[in-house]
Structure 1
Amino acid sequence: MESITLPATVRELGQMAEARGMKASELLEELAAQLPTPQPPAGYTLAEGCSDYYVGTETKTDAWVVAAGWDADTATHQIEAWTVKDQNLTPAQALEMAAALTAAAKAGHA
């Protein structure tokens, strides 16, 4: 793995840039391009209208939706769950939703 030397202070950034004959903003841009970026899990796609949130498997019924998500800013899995039209769930629907939530949580925890 390649190591990247990053400045710890603004002063150090200026000194590093000066030593390379660059502006501090140019060096900062160069360093940012070298940093590793978190990659979404396999099968996740960028959510429509988002630049940092990915969606995975979505399970739907006529009463509820459970969707797996992944936040690139924090590199964490998330689970979205909601009922359709804010309706109450029957006990059977709640059990189905609980099973879908459990499956999504296990997939994100692996």
Structure 2
Amino acid sequence: MRKIKTKGLKFKVKPVDRGPRFAIVLHSIKNAEKAKEGLKRIFEVDDSLADHVVSSAPVVICRDLAQGDATNYVKRLKDGGDFRVWLESAAPKRAKQMNLKRKDGDSAPMPTPHIRKH
């Protein structure tokens, strides 16, 4: 908990507990074309980046997701390859890290914390 001082008023900001965070990991490819199409549909990637992601499996595709979002993405991507949901702290460290940007509208924004003034 940290204190913020503004114009003589003191109030405390409590950190928002978002719970455990998850990552999506691509382990292997079944169908390269379907995997590329799925990546382009869900993430903001072009053809060359999708080719690079598919060719460099195993790779961590996206981090800092809620469990529901991560499982939904894996369900939408499962036709193209072996996509798995990992706990972010347990995700393979030796795999390439590619934090692809999600398209807008795919997930709800994080709720803003409520600040009480005293």
Q: Please, what TM-score do these two structures have when normalized by structure 2?
A: 0.22
Greater radius of gyration (CA): 1
Q: Please, what TM-score do these two structures have when normalized by structure 1?
A: 0.23
Q: Please state which structure has a larger fraction of its residues in strand.
A: 2
Q: Please state which structure has a larger fraction of its residues in helix.
A: 1
